[in-house]
């Protein structure tokens, strides 16, 4: 028998105490929190008891009960009842109490959280009038409850007040040798803090007031599709709002530079991670930083917030030097060249920066050196020597990427200085055997070199204080919080801020003359210096934490630098810097289920997007539609075509176009009189609700989720037109004609609302719609105020402009051609699914190349064409996806049937090409 426990886990306290009290002989093994001991559970579950039969027990109460039973003490009915109460009632509140006390540092709230449970305990004990829960002797129930409550009750900050019986009962248990020794083992004498590590890994408990996930088996789950019920009050309110008309709000489009913080406004300083200058950004980079940031800033300006959006290219560092050598240019020339490329790509994507700067400027040097001296004065820099490889021939220290040699572990001859490509191990460059300078192939020598380190451990407590505040009050994405927590959990180490390079900002300290700053130290300072290049009054933004909210946008790999390292630099500089309030990190965007790779030519890069002939707005729409928000996502050409054709063309574009066309064709281009009926008011309420959701989500930077609500509105609109058939009613009598007028008028006003909501996502299309509708400029600022107000902006008699279609269909052959051109197809020699297995095989047996799948055998069968089969497999998969998408969108039956017919035909061809009988083969399992 063996008991597995981990330190700091409160459940382990229970079983260790029970083990002591019961006196059962059992091995105890300490493991990590994440260790998966129980083979059939996919999440780590500790404590766990391995029974003699080989079975595992994974519930702490069952383990305690078992230990007692083995020692001859059966569990009575009352005892069982306490255990059930402990598991179902006490544990949820205890978890919450520990969460508030240990992670949020709010020990004072613990007694409030536990109030109900402790009162129950007090009542039971006083009524029973026995020293222990189930009578005059200790039972497993006492041990389990003592141990469960021990961490919070033994903490002096929690007074039991008048709960005398609980106090007497608990003190009796806490005094026992068994409980004390179990507590010592689990908490390590650190009290509540001993559980910090454990608690950080637990999902945050849901407090009973704000349960946002519906239990799935309590009631029939409500699908998102199901119709929302609209109450009379909602309808009346929506109609009232509608009738208020335009307000004379400030015009959102008038921006006066330089933008500076204003009293009484929400002042947002928004940054997008600085793209590294030596490469062309790919779609993943674009969605991860500048595009997401742009959408949020455009939205913020519509909300009448005072927004400043700065970004620029990050230009210093080894990679630039390297690129310069490759292209035979100086680093400065490389920076100039690529800075221009970046700027033109972002211009094409309509990224509306207030200022797009760069890091190779005088301001950058001034500010970086100033922060450096301040850190130095306050004693946050420490000196240490580092062993490094130096190439005497090239006269320079070699950055990790500039060294190659034999891997000390697997003997792979071309291991890089930071990592071996073969065995994947992280390498310290000096460990390489037979190292070579990658540039001149000479053997470098080991030299020790003195460097400066930022003393992160010294700043850790200050950082944690600030982080607790910022993450609890600001909108940090879940991944940002989690990555930050894991960095803190592992403990901070001093970080080297200097490098032996030329292309960088010189370290101003006389002892480190030949050195420059490490890019991670000075790159985020770029945000400050770029702002300084924008306006001399930059300190009004950057040294103004009370008035300014700072938003940082980035992909998740950049999180630690923005949440831990850079804040430490600024905190240590002690100059009242504005620190990040909202950290928005995306996950990764893959390219057709593989990674973007410049070297393999896989994926679409910023400069190529415009060559596709697909408008910038459509690119923006699709990238935002698949924004990796909360989880990784993938760019797929077929999906892009589907989304363009179904969402933009058939849904959004169709609705807006129809609404405008009705006004033009039936009412001579003037908005007709509207007499709102119940049905219209219901629609106004539905649209108003979608608008409110859109605003709630956008305020929280849920950009992808908010987009869905725009599309919902046009769906409602299409349905409304479809049901009311204004094109028929216009030919009827007066009442019918009036009805046609109302429906048209309401529809065209919804189209106007859509143009405003679309503005952050598709600025050009938004402008086109407003031009076509001849919409007043003030509609932009009116509708997104407060929680959202859908007002009638195009009143009766308003003359609209010329209406024309907004979107174009993306044809299959067009998409296929693009897919080929950008290497979207998997490497020619392997069908997509086999690839991963091939890689796995290569990983375990590096020496052997996976043999091709017996081509001779396949070719022997009559009429078989493996090449064609591959193409067909791909086609079948795509067509299948198309059918599924159509079905999911509840497309018209005829359309679906037609596509299914194509699918079946393709499958038949595939079967022939594979040499199988073309009878309907067993269907492939659906990918879940």
Partner 1 sequence: MALRELSSLEKYLGLKKPNKYSTQGDKKIPVLQNNNGPPLVGLVTIACHLVKEAKRPELLGDSAESRAVVQQWLEHRVTKLDGCTKEDMKTILKDLNLYLQDKVYLAGNQFTLADVFIYCGVHPLIVDLAVQEKEQYVNVTRWFDHIQHHLGLKHHLPPVVVLRNRIYTSRHH
- Contact residues toward partner 1 (CB under 8 A) are 39-43, 51-53, 55, 57-59, 61-63, 65-66, 69-70, 77-78, 80-81, 83-85, 87-88, 91, 213-218, 221, 833, 922-928
Residue closer to partner 1 by CB (options 1, 812) is: 1
Residues 6 or more apart in contact with residue 525 via CB below 8 angstroms? 359, 364, 367, 368, 371, 569
Retrieve residue 517's tokens.
């700053």
Q: Radius of gyration (Cα) for the chain, nearest Å?
A: 33
- For residue 513, with 0-12 CB atoms within 10 Å meaning exposed, 13-18 middle and 19 or more buried, which class applies? exposed
Question: CA nearest 613: which of 792, 809, 858?
Answer: 809
Cβ(663)–Cβ(726) below 8 Å: no
At 357, phi and psi to the nearest 5? -110, -155
Question: How many other C-beta atoms lie within 10 A of the C-beta of residue 257?
Answer: 10
Least distance from C-beta 83 to partner 1, angstroms? 8
Say which residues have a Cβ less than 8 Å from residue 582's Cβ, sequence separation at least 6: 474, 475, 476, 549, 550, 551, 552, 701
The Cα 448–Cα 463 span in angstroms is 32
Q: How far is CA 360 from the centre of its chain?
A: 31
Which of 266, 351, 366 shows the shortest CA–CA distance to 307?
Answer: 266
**For 447, how many CA atoms within 13 A lie in the half-sphere containing its CB?**
16
Judged by beta carbon, residue 59 or residue 279, the one nearer partner 1 is: 59
Nearer to partner 1 (CB atom), residue 513 or residue 927: 927
CA–CA dist 883, 187 (Å, integer): 57
* Whole-angstrom distance, CA of residue 690 vs CA of residue 787: 11
Q: CB of 626 within 8 A of CB of 639?
A: yes
**Which positions ≥6 away from 17 have C-beta within 8 Å?**
143, 146, 147, 178, 179, 182, 183
Residue among 122 and 690 whose Cβ is closer to partner 1 = 122
Handedness of CA 397, 401, 406, 408 (dihedral sign): positive
Backbone φ and ψ for 5, nearest 5 degrees, come out as: -135, 165
- Ramachandran region, residue 33 (left: φ > 0; alpha: ψ -120 to 50; beta: rest): alpha
Burial of 856 per CB tally in 10 Å (0-12, 13-18, 19+): exposed
Contact assessment for residue 272 and residue 290, using Cβ atoms and an 8 Å cutoff: yes
Q: How far is the CB of 252 from partner 1 (least distance, A)?
A: 39
Give min distance, CB of 19 to partner 1, in A: 14
Least distance (Å) between residue 65 CB and partner 1: 6
State both tokens at 54. 């080989």
Nearer to partner 1, 75 or 676 (CB): 75
Question: How distant, in Å, are the alpha carbons of 270, 298, 737 from that of 743?
Answer: 41, 31, 10
> Which two three-digit tokens encode residue 908?
């038949």
Question: How far is Cα 765 from Cα 651, in angstroms, rounded to an integer?
Answer: 15
Tokens 């002989």, located at residue: 25
Q: Which is nearer to partner 1, 86 or 352 (CB)?
A: 86
- From CA 289, how far away is CA 312, in angstroms rounded? 11
Question: Cα separation of 766 and 444, whole Å?
Answer: 59
Which residues, in sequence order, are CB contacts of 234 under 8 Å at separation 6+? 685, 688, 689
Q: Residue 3 in 3-state DSSP?
A: strand
Cα–Cα–Cα angle for 834, 838, 840, rounded to 5 degrees: 120
Give Cα separations from 924 to 376, 901, 928 (angstroms).
65, 17, 12
Task: Using the structure block, give the residue that is written with the tokens 């007694």.
Answer: 111
């Amino acid at each position: 028998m063996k008991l597995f426990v981990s330190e700091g886990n409160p459940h382990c306290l229970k079983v260790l105490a029970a083990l002591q009290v019961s006196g059962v002989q059992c091995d105890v093994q300490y493991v990590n929190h994440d260790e998966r001991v129980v083979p059939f559970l996919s999440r780590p579950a500790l404590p766990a008891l391995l029974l003699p039969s080989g079975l595992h027990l994974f519930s702490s109460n069952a383990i305690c009960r078992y230990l007692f039973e083995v020692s001859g003490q059966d569990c009575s009915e009352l005892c069982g009842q306490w255990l059930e109460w402990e598991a179902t009632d006490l544990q949820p509140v205890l978890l919450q109490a520990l969460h508030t006390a240990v992670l949020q540092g709010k020990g004072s709230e613990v007694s409030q959280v536990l109030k109900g449970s402790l009162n129950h305990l007090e009542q039971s004990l006083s009524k029973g009038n026995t020293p222990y829960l189930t009578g005059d002797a200790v039972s497993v129930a006492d041990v389990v409850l003592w141990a469960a409550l021990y961490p919070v009750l033994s903490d002096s900050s929690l007074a039991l007040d008048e709960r005398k019986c609980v106090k007497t009962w608990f003190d009796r248990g806490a005094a026992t040798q068994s409980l004390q020794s179990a507590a010592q083992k689990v908490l390590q004498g650190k009290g509540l803090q001993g559980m910090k590590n454990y608690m950080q890994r637990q999902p945050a408990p849901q407090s009973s007031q704000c349960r946002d996930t519906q239990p799935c088996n309590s009631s029939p789950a409500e699908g998102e599709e199901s119709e929302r019920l609209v109450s009379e009050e909602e309808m009346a309110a929506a109609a009232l709002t509608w009738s208020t008309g335009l307000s004379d709000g400030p015009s959102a489009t008038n921006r006066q530079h330089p933008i500076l913080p204003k009293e009484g406004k929400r002042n947002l300083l928004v940054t997008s991670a600085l793209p590294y200058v030596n490469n062309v950004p790919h779609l993943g980079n674009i969605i991860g930083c500048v595009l997401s940031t742009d959408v949020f800033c455009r939205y913020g300006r519509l909300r009448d917030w005072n927004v400043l959006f700065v970004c620029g290219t990050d230009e210093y560092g080894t990679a630039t030097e390297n690129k310069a050598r490759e292209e035979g240019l100086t680093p400065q020339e490389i920076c100039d060249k690529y800075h221009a490329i970046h700027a033109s790509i972002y211009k094409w994507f309509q990224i509306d920066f207030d200022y797009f700067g760069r890091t190779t400027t005088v301001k950058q040097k001034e500010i970086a050196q100033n922060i450096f001296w301040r850190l130095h004065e306050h004693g946050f820099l420490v000196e240490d020597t580092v062993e490094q490889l130096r190439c005497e021939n090239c006269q320079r220290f070699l950055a990790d990427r500039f060294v190659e040699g034999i891997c000390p572990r697997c003997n792979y001859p071309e291991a890089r200085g930071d990592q071996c490509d073969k065995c994947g191990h992280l390498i310290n460059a000096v460990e390489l055997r037979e190292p070579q300078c990658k540039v001149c192939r000479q053997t470098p020598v080991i030299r020790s070199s003195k460097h400066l380190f930022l003393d992160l451990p010294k700043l850790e407590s200050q950082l944690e204080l600030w982080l607790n505040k910022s993450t609890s009050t600001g909108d940090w994405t879940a991944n940002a919080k989690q990555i930050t927590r894991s960095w803190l959990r592992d403990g901070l180490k001093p970080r080297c801020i200097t490098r032996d390079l030329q292309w960088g900002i010189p370290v101003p300290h006389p002892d480190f003359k030949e050195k420059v700053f490490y890019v991670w130290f000075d790159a985020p300072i770029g945000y400050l210096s770029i702002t300084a290049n924008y306006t001399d009054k930059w300190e009004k933004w950057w040294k103004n934490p009370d008035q300014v909210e700072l938003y940082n946008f980035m992909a998740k790999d950049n999180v630690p630098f923005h949440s831990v390292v850079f804040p430490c630099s600024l905190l240590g500089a002690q100059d009242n810097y504005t620190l990040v309030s909202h950290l928005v990190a995306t996950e990764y965007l893959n390219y057709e289920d593989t990674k973007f790779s410049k070297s393999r030519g896989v994926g679409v890069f910023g400069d190529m997007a415009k060559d596709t002939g697909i408008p910038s707005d459509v690119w923006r729409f699709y990238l935002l539609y698949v924004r990796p928000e909360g989880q990784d996502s993938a760019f797929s050409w077929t999906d892009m075509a589907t989304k363009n054709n179904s969402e933009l063309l058939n849904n959004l574009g169709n609705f807006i176009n129809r609404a405008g066309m009705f006004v033009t064709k039936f009412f001579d281009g003037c908005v007709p009189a509207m007499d709102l009926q119940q049905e219209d008011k219901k629609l106004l309420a539905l649209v108003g609700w979608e608008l409110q959701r859109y605003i709630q989500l956008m305020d929280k930077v849920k950009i992808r989720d908010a987009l869905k609500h725009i599309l919902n509105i046009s769906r409602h609109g299409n349905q409304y037109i479809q049901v009311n058939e204004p094109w028929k009613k216009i030919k009827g009598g007066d009442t019918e004609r009036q009805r046609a007028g109302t429906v048209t008028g309401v529809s065209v006003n919804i189209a106007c609302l859509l143009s405003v909501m679309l503005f952050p996502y598709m600025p050009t299309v938004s402008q086109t719609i407003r031009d076509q509708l001849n919409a007043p400029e003030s509609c932009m600022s009116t509708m997104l105020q407060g929680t959202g107000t859908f007002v009638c902006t195009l009143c009766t008699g308003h003359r609209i402009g010329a209406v024309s279609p907004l979107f174009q269909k993306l044809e299959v052959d067009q998409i296929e051609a693009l897919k080929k051109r950008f290497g979207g197809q998997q490497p020619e020699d392997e069908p997509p699914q086999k690839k991963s297995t091939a890689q796995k095989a290569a990983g375990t047996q590096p020496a052997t190349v996976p043999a091709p799948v017996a081509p001779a055998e396949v070719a022997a069968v009559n009429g078989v064409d493996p090449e064609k089969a591959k193409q067909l497999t791909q086609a079948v998969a795509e067509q299948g996806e198309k059918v599924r998408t159509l079905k999911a969108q509840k497309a018209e039956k005829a359309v679906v049937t037609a596509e299914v017919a194509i699918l079946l035909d393709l499958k038949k061809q595939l079967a022939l090409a594979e040499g199988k009988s073309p009878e309907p083969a067993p269907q492939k399992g659906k990918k879940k």
